[in-house]
Structure 1
Amino acid sequence: MKPIFAFAGLLILSLFSSLPAFAATAEGLNLQEPPALLEQVQSGELPPIAERVPSAPFVDQLLSSSDTLEPGRYGGSIRLLMGKAKDIRQLVVYGYARLVAFNENVELQADLLESFEVKQQREFTFHLRPGHRWSDGAPFTAEDFRYFWEEMAMNEELSPFGPPASMLVDGEVPKFEVLDPLTVRYTWSNPNPEFLLALAGASPLFIYRPSHYLKQFHVNYAEPYKLAELVANANIKKKNWTGLHQRMDHQYPFDNPELPTLQPWIPTTEMPSEHFIFKRNPYYHRVDAKGHQLPYLDEIVIDIASSKLIPAKTGAGEADLQGRYLEMSNYTFLREGTARNPYDVRLWSTSRGSRVALYPNLNTNDDTWRPLIRDVRFRRALSLAINRHEINQVIYFGLALEGADTLIPESPLYREEYRKAWAGFDLKQANALLDELGLTERDDRGIRILPDGRPMEIIIQSAGESTEETDILELIHDSWMDIGVKLHVKPTEREIFRNRVFAGDALMSVWPGIENGLATADMSPAEFAPTSQQQLCWPKWGKHYETDQESPPDMEEPQRLLALYKEWRHADSIEQKRAAWDEILSIRADQVYSIGTVTQVKQPIVVNKALRNVPDTALWNWEPNAFFGRFRPERFWLDVDNSITSAEVQ
């Protein structure tokens, strides 16, 4: 199998046309009926498999040609653990059925689509698979794209803020065309290089909907009296047709069992619950070369437990595939559990810019702190006063990569000077920078005094979801005391945490570093510039960009980052894109808008010994891998004949 970070040529071909997709006609395959569906087929509840898969299905040839994958056998159920009921949406992430998707070489490839063509990054033509059906058997056609665009995205009641941001280019919406029942086209005046990336995302841009299902909730299609009755009986806060439509259209939350889907497994459990069952999609569009319709697994079960208990439950053998909520600090305990339970512990690597990063809030409301945080000397001093080597040795057994919050070495854009910038442990230089800022007075504890007389005590907002984070902050607290800065941590629920940052009530926050440490020149640098409220170092500037692109940041370097991002969006060549990326990374490294610690931390992945086709080593990340998603869990299968029980292990 090729390296998972083989990026040569990534996306370049896709700017002009789709990469060759594995396709064949259903007639040329010896299609195999999953045993779990035989009874439904025999009773007439389901049509036979030849009528359920597209006439041109996606044929997964890798299952026969790869050195590390093997054709599987049908059947079985695996268990996953999640910390909250809403986390069942991870089945959309892991399922990873996308219009276009990243393949094993991290190249974009048609998936739900049969093919696509792109001209000048402006015109995108999508061809659907003939005979492709939703999970309830209804045809998947251009009408499902038209319905989303005309009846949802452009409907002021359903979308008061307009279409999704990734469908706007300099404020312009695309020209949408239905060319025939299986072909649609989107055209912009200027390039939209982020469109395909959004479609392939871990949380994808859904530009289609099961129109046959949702029309019953839409004012333009439903009988008024029936719609009024549905609204009256629905458990929704907003008692009108838009509230009902939005509630029933949970593509990503994945919590409406009635909503047709194209994912490999479909939800069957109503909310609220702590035990969710997902069953195979009888109309899934992928098959293996032997004609077996994927997925191999009949069922996925998700049990909800406290996130703090999930490592213990996993070590007790209560999960068959688990990565979420596990940390390197759990590794020894999980390894000990292999003596009692039939699972392996594999070590993947994380690829975020930093496992844990600090985000000084340049938009804080505090009039004393704000000019200080905006002064690069202050941010540099805090970064220089972090002993990353100590963090690596104490918490990660020396296995992590120390440095700033930037790309990792596997990225073709990586430069060692970016990772080293202001990331050495130098208390002398850190103290000198703070003295240079005029912060020379200290109280009897050695804490520096702010210009308004307050001690320099920084409250760091935290979502409080990680023991690793807590341990790292304790080490940072000790070294910051040596420069006269005292650290306090304030953990809150994630929503409260974010709202405090967004409102400017936070001085600083802690969160993982940049999302995609594996970026290439073709990938968007949006997260490096003030483009979103979700960016914890400048949430107000990000919100301005999202709502009013004419309101730039009032600092020179962030303005330049935003200009470079726009240059990247309008670039005509890969050289221009790379030039924009290089300057962006250089500015970010020099200005220290986020303070990194270590990266490439090992991620424990627990896998049932009978579960096949799960990679031994891989990258555990949101983008571009969608965690397990890019490795296609529909390929995973249970080797029941060779499985062992917990009793046999003991």
Structure 2
Amino acid sequence: MTDPGLSRRTLLRVSAVAAGSVALAACSSNNPGSTGSGNGNGTSSPTNSAAVGSTVDPLPKPAKFNEAPQLAEQVKSGKLPAIAERLPENPYVIPHKWVTPGKYGGQIFTFTPGTEEGSHAEYMYGHSLLRYLNDGQDIGPGLVESWESNSEATRWELHFRKGLKWSDGQPWTTEDIMFWWEDMVLNEEHSEVPPDEARSGKGTLMKMTAPDPLTIVMEFDAPAPLTADRLAMWVNRGNGPGWMEPKHYMKQFHPKYNPKTPKTWASDEGQFDQKRAWTRNPDCPVMTGWRCKSYDEGKIVTFERNPYYWCVMPNGDQLPYLDGMTLTAVARAEIQKLQAQQGKVNFAYGGFTALFLADVAGFKQAQSKNHLRVLLWDAGDGSGSLVFFNQDYFEPKLRKLFRDAKFRQALSHAYNRKEVRRAVYYDTGELTTGTMSPKAIEFQIDGEAKKNYAAWRDSFIDYDPELAKKILDEIGIVDKDGDGKREMADGTKLRIHLDYHADSAPEHVSKNNLLARDWNAIGIDTKLNPVAPEGYGDQWRFGKLMTNTNWETGDGPNCLVYPQWMVPIESSRWAPLQGEFYNVRGTPAEKEQLDLDPFKRTPPRMEPEKGGPIEKLWQLYDQSKIEPDAVKRRQLVWEIAKVHISDGPWLLGVCANTPYIVLVHEDMKNVPEKENLKLGGFAAPWIHPSPAVYDPETWYWTNPEAHTTTP
């Protein structure tokens, strides 16, 4: 991590309370999903529900509401309105089957690599319009109570909950979305860019209007069938797009509304962006369960309960149960592990820390002293630590070699994945050549889907050094001078660099050492090459680095919401210059600088080979973007996977779906175990935001009074 349609084709109002319905089956029931109740109070009918499951009755609105004692005291003293006035007319009722009514009070105390980490927002799903449920197999409501699309998926209506309020008690309205859209996204002076869900299948921007304070209309010039999926992914105002800002607060820092605003308002150093940073600015209103209470840069961030949070338990308890969270900056991995073993935290999530499988034994041994249980959620990634060659490497002969599927297939067969799996991942996960997530709906939906996934997973996976040598011999990569190392076909020396961030996690370095040993064993001169993180991205997109060896694939739950691993459409993955060429298609830049060397263009970009595999991938992906039928889109994903099999592998993984560590104090309840979750967890992708999708606002202490201060 650094760094996600509709099933009914007629005009259909699907109502959001059936997120209750989707989620009653949710996260751990045996029901495979839901397509929506259509009862005027239910859920969406998203792409990934197209061929699964049945409708489940939604959770009813509670007959009465309950609140935290500290809020009740403020109501009694007149500092807060009554709870019924603070909640929307129809609050979101938490649907997960593993949750039980809890107690109010206590805090989470954990560590974070730094106080400006985007991971802080990943605990809170409250700004999201829609929500992933059932480990991404379904979509339920969020701030949006119900939504609808026409049969072509070119017009979408979003209907928001009546009575929503910001954490300062001010009403939330669609003006807060239009402020973000008109005064930030469409404002060329601000750096905010349109998110994926704002574009049609042709790549053009939607027209967005707000006919009333509770309705947003999105109109596209071509089908935009993935809109609901994309509205659920990420956490808005976190690692995802903003989608809203509290206009009543932020307009004072915007020159359109305040002429005295300094000219630097839109820069990174400007006051506007500093004020909107809600995880660092206690004054900025939020819609999340907790709001920033204090921020000490580089040291500590604290969050406190939002008295206007719009989510409740089935029994009517307003959430969150916990008074707040305290996150202390601990950058060094060894200090994080030591603090966890000593019980100086009462919760820790492996996705945001340096905790890894190698530490499990030590944590379990310390459990009797620190009282931290070890939970293991499935990562849902498709590779483990990954290796991929730069298909646009600047040196022509090596670029041609890296684009030769036979060369990559040979190196895949020379890779002893079983040993890496045993040494690095402790025999967890499933061996794979490297794919999109095995939990993606396109690979889960039925038996044919699972066969298609298995075909991709198992392609070129067999460890067979002799076969690898034979393939290399066939393409002319042989030892010409007798030094034991293979040369290029023209006799040029061949050396492969395994490039990685110099501060990479141990799993990547350990894997690289074993991989280098395997490739050296078949005569490929292979060296590890640590690179300063600061310049890594630019070197990659300019084609200066051979390989990337410190990422993992993990995106989903739908392969098409974030397809960058499957299809080169930007500059950070396996074909950076061709991906950048895709980015400028349809813009004036597409026809500019064609007389320049691709590496000297601004930005560096090159067109794919005519009739080549990347052009095939683009064609299939372009079809998928405007295909309103979910079944046909799924088939297009399978066709993309077949190109990865016939012309790949481009992604050399180890093992998919390894566990993520979650340390939870034994007194904390409602934190789901793997067995509670629909697919065992889906922790790796940022676009399926964990732990936010499991609603930390429902977590509670059996003895809150014992967890009010740092352990």
For residues 16 and 344 of structure 1, the distance between their equivalents in structure 2, rounded to whole angstroms, comes to 34
Report the equivalent of 2:508: 469
Shift in alpha-carbon separation, 1:465–1:267, aligned structure 2, 3 A: farther
Equivalent residue in structure 2 for 1:119, among 128, 150, 175: 150
Please tell me whether residue 213 in structure 1 is matched to residue 255 in structure 2: no
Report the equivalent of 2:23: none
Report the equivalent of 1:292: 317
| CA displacement at 1:44 relative to structure 2 | 3.7
For residues 570 and 391 of structure 2, the distance between their equivalents in structure 1, rounded to whole angstroms, comes to 14
Equivalent residue in structure 1 for 2:285, among 256, 260, 285: 260
For residues 493 and 337 of structure 1, the distance between their equivalents in structure 2, rounded to whole angstroms, comes to 36
Residue-by-residue CA offset, 1:581-626 (whole Å, 9 max, x unaligned)? 1111111133111111111222222111011011121322225641
Residue-by-residue CA offset, 1:18-59 (whole Å, 9 max, x unaligned)? 99996766xx64222312334544444432322211122112
| CA displacement at 1:150 relative to structure 2 | 1.6
Q: SS in structure 2 opposite 1:587?
A: helix
For residues 59 and 603 of structure 1, the distance between their equivalents in structure 2, rounded to whole angstroms, comes to 28
Report the equivalent of 2:106: 76
| Aligned residue type for 2:622 | K
Report the equivalent of 1:433: 471
Report the equivalent of 1:167: 198
Equivalent residue in structure 1 for 2:129, among 99, 106, 116: 99
Please tell me whether residue 277 in structure 1 is matched to residue 333 in structure 2: no
Cα pair 2:436 2:565 within 8 Å, conserved: no
Shift in alpha-carbon separation, 1:56–1:177, aligned structure 2, 3 A: same
Q: Which moved more, 1:279-288 or 1:146-155?
A: 146-155
For residues 428 and 369 of structure 2, the distance between their equivalents in structure 1, rounded to whole angstroms, comes to 27
Q: SS in structure 1 opposite 2:565?
A: helix
Report the equivalent of 1:55: 89
Identity of aligned residues (%): 25
Q: Which moved more, 1:110-119 or 1:560-569?
A: 110-119
Shift in alpha-carbon separation, 1:529–1:6, aligned structure 2, 3 A: farther
For residues 81 and 108 of structure 2, the distance between their equivalents in structure 1, rounded to whole angstroms, comes to 27
For residues 525 and 435 of structure 1, the distance between their equivalents in structure 2, rounded to whole angstroms, comes to 35
| Aligned residue type for 1:580 | L
Equivalent residue in structure 2 for 1:569, among 609, 616, 625: 625
| CA displacement at 1:335 relative to structure 2 | 1.1
Cα pair 2:433 2:458 within 8 Å, conserved: yes
For residues 409 and 156 of structure 1, the distance between their equivalents in structure 2, rounded to whole angstroms, comes to 40
Report the equivalent of 1:633: 696
Shift in alpha-carbon separation, 1:495–1:47, aligned structure 2, 3 A: farther
Cα pair 1:531 1:546 within 8 Å, conserved: yes
Report the equivalent of 1:380: 409
For residues 215 and 489 of structure 1, the distance between their equivalents in structure 2, rounded to whole angstroms, comes to 51
Residue-by-residue CA offset, 1:178-205 (whole Å, 9 max, x unaligned)? 1211111111121112322222112333
| CA displacement at 1:405 relative to structure 2 | 0.8
TM-score by length of 1: 0.89
| CA displacement at 1:526 relative to structure 2 | 4.6
| Aligned residue type for 2:548 | S
Report the equivalent of 1:581: 637
For residues 379 and 104 of structure 1, the distance between their equivalents in structure 2, rounded to whole angstroms, comes to 36
Alignment of 1:465-504 (within 5 A): 465-504=504-543
For residues 543 and 366 of structure 2, the distance between their equivalents in structure 1, rounded to whole angstroms, comes to 45
Pairs aligned (count): 626
Report the equivalent of 1:319: 345
| Aligned residue type for 2:461 | A
Please tell me whether residue 136 in structure 1 is matched to residue 165 in structure 2: no
| Aligned residue type for 2:627 | A
Please tell me whether residue 204 in structure 1 is matched to residue 204 in structure 2: no
Cα pair 2:92 2:311 within 8 Å, conserved: yes
For residues 63 and 210 of structure 2, the distance between their equivalents in structure 1, rounded to whole angstroms, comes to 31
| CA displacement at 1:565 relative to structure 2 | 0.9
| Aligned residue type for 1:205 | P
Shift in alpha-carbon separation, 1:248–1:488, aligned structure 2, 3 A: farther
Unaligned runs of 5+ in 2: 1-25, 37-43, 591-605, 675-679
Shift in alpha-carbon separation, 1:644–1:279, aligned structure 2, 3 A: closer
Cα pair 2:300 2:328 within 8 Å, conserved: yes
For residues 624 and 407 of structure 1, the distance between their equivalents in structure 2, rounded to whole angstroms, comes to 13
Shift in alpha-carbon separation, 1:574–1:588, aligned structure 2, 3 A: same
Shift in alpha-carbon separation, 1:384–1:602, aligned structure 2, 3 A: same
Shift in alpha-carbon separation, 1:435–1:38, aligned structure 2, 3 A: same
For residues 406 and 171 of structure 1, the distance between their equivalents in structure 2, rounded to whole angstroms, comes to 26
Cα pair 2:301 2:328 within 8 Å, conserved: yes
**Alpha carbon RMSD of aligned pairs, Å?**
3.0
Report the equivalent of 2:276: 249
Shift in alpha-carbon separation, 1:17–1:130, aligned structure 2, 3 A: farther
For residues 78 and 34 of structure 2, the distance between their equivalents in structure 1, rounded to whole angstroms, comes to 48
Q: SS in structure 2 opposite 1:578?
A: helix
| Aligned residue type for 2:388 | Y
Please tell me whether residue 601 in structure 1 is matched to residue 658 in structure 2: yes
| CA displacement at 1:103 relative to structure 2 | 1.9
| CA displacement at 1:104 relative to structure 2 | 3.2
Q: SS in structure 2 opposite 1:593?
A: coil
Residue-by-residue CA offset, 1:353-397 (whole Å, 9 max, x unaligned)? 111110100011122311111111111111111001111222333
| CA displacement at 1:101 relative to structure 2 | 0.3
For residues 171 and 421 of structure 1, the distance between their equivalents in structure 2, rounded to whole angstroms, comes to 33
Q: Which moved more, 1:113-122 or 1:69-78?
A: 113-122
Shift in alpha-carbon separation, 1:238–1:318, aligned structure 2, 3 A: closer
Q: SS in structure 2 opposite 1:136?
A: coil
For residues 481 and 113 of structure 2, the distance between their equivalents in structure 1, rounded to whole angstroms, comes to 43
Report the equivalent of 1:345: 374
| CA displacement at 1:407 relative to structure 2 | 4.3
For residues 468 and 625 of structure 2, the distance between their equivalents in structure 1, rounded to whole angstroms, comes to 37
Shift in alpha-carbon separation, 1:194–1:531, aligned structure 2, 3 A: farther
| CA displacement at 1:554 relative to structure 2 | 2.9
For residues 684 and 702 of structure 2, the distance between their equivalents in structure 1, rounded to whole angstroms, comes to 27
For residues 149 and 581 of structure 1, the distance between their equivalents in structure 2, rounded to whole angstroms, comes to 31
For residues 559 and 282 of structure 1, the distance between their equivalents in structure 2, rounded to whole angstroms, comes to 53
For residues 4 and 608 of structure 1, the distance between their equivalents in structure 2, rounded to whole angstroms, comes to 25
Shift in alpha-carbon separation, 1:316–1:130, aligned structure 2, 3 A: same
Report the equivalent of 2:65: 31
Residue-by-residue CA offset, 1:133-155 (whole Å, 9 max, x unaligned)? 11121111011122122212211
Q: Which moved more, 1:381-390 or 1:170-179?
A: 170-179
Please tell me whether residue 544 in structure 1 is matched to residue 581 in structure 2: yes
| Aligned residue type for 1:175 | K
Q: Which moved more, 1:505-514 or 1:69-78?
A: 505-514
Cα pair 2:176 2:244 within 8 Å, conserved: yes
For residues 672 and 242 of structure 2, the distance between their equivalents in structure 1, rounded to whole angstroms, comes to 28
